[in-house]
Amino acid sequence: MPFLGPGVDQTVAPAVTPTWVFTPTPGTQSSARFYNYGNINPVYIGGSAVTQFNGLPLYPGNRPIELQNMNVTMYVCSGAARGAASGTLTASATTAGTTTVTLTAIVPAALAAGTTVMIGSTANTSSMDVNVVNSTTASSAITFLSPLLYDHAASTVVYAATPNTGSVRVTAGVG
């Protein structure tokens, strides 16, 4: 991942999955300023497993958030609105890092390639995954664009979702 020099801006339209925005320069006291210049939706700041459920929300039009003495790579993501339950994972648990899951039934049209989905329990959103369907098989398998961030119990619900896109500007090395 490239390093942004002091004062260098980068503009990102984050995906619903973690999107890289900042890597600190090794051996220096790095800082970064995050600004959401979108007009409607918040973006979420955090580490490599950031989601809308565990990230620091940055609302549009608010003052920038400035983080000092950064020693970790930072990511952002956009949120998504949960829709209807569209499938259920099989009786086998799914582990973090998985890119393909199997449903208990044939993949419905609501989960076609390109669809944003949420996987997990609405009672425990801190471990709910948001991802994008890359492809499906003729039977019941779904492959995602990114690996799942969390483990999921057997028979977990898969929801169709609508992405809430945002825009963020990151400036490295700010005062």
Q: Please provide residue 87's backbone torsions phi and psi, each rounded to the nearest 5 degrees.
A: -175, 170
Cα dist from 37 to 25, 77, 173, whole Å: 25, 14, 19
Predicted local confidence at residue 2, as pLDDT:
61
Quick one: which of 143, 153, 129, 141 has its CA closest to 104? 141
Predicted local confidence at residue 29, as pLDDT:
77
Extents of the domains making up the chain = 9-79+164-172, 80-163
The predicted model scores a pTM of 0.87
Which residues, including other chains, have CB under 8 Å from residue 60's CB and lie 6 or more apart? 36, 37, 38, 39, 40, 41, 42, 166
Question: Does domain 9-79+164-172 match CATH 2.10.270?
Answer: no
Predicted local confidence at residue 44, as pLDDT:
96
Predicted local confidence at residue 3, as pLDDT:
63
Mean pLDDT by 10 residues, the chain (175 residues): 68 92 82 90 94 94 89 93 93 92 91 94 83 90 94 93 93 70
